Amino acid sequence: MLELRKPYLLYLGDATLKSDCKTAFGLRDWCRSDVLGEWSHPAATVSVDIPRLSPAAAAALGAGSLVVGVASTGGLLPDHWQDDLESAIDAGLDLVSGMHTRLTAFPRLVSAAPRRRSGQPARPAS
């Protein structure tokens, strides 16, 4: 079992429907103390009503992981979401996703992973 680095920055993609952001709302409601803020693509109209932070700002405040809190159509990540997730990697955040398609299926993200500044991979729980 992996230990996810807390606190989390919730990613809302470019969501326009609250029903697509069930993961983000659930984390906000059920483990609020583990959630630092939210971030989304400029086209998003959904908010979980917590502070909006860029990945760099969240990392500076101690965030450990960006959690994809939105369901994407067909389990694929649009290119502009991948740009956003690369920004999170470059800020030193781990990426966490419960989507059906693993993040390792996206070559851009796999290539970006070694750039993560913190150098701390997700680690087995003790």
DSSP the chain: -EEPPSSEEEE-TT---GGGGHHHHHHHHH-GGGEEEEE--TT-----SS-B--HHHHHHTT--EEEE-SPPGGGPPPHHHHHHHHHHHHTT-EEE---SS-GGG-HHHHHHGGG-TT----EE--
User: How many structural domains is the chain composed of?
Assistant: 1
0.85 surpassed by pTM: yes
Query: Within a domain: residue 101?
Result: yes
Least confident of 22-31, 58-67, 80-89: 80-89
Query: Within a domain: residue 54?
Result: yes
Query: Within a domain: residue 126?
Result: no
CATH at 60: 3.40.50.720
More confident residue, 114 or 17: 17
Query: Within a domain: residue 85?
Result: yes
Query: Within a domain: residue 2?
Result: no
Query: Within a domain: residue 105?
Result: yes
Query: Within a domain: residue 72?
Result: yes
Give me the pLDDT at residue 123, please: 41
Range of the domain at 72: 10-117
Query: Within a domain: residue 3?
Result: no
Give me the pLDDT at residue 25, please: 98
The band of 23, judged by pLDDT with boundaries at 50, 70 and 90, is very high
pLDDT digits (tens, 9 = 90+) for 81-119: 999 999 999 999 999 998 878 888 889 899 888 877 544
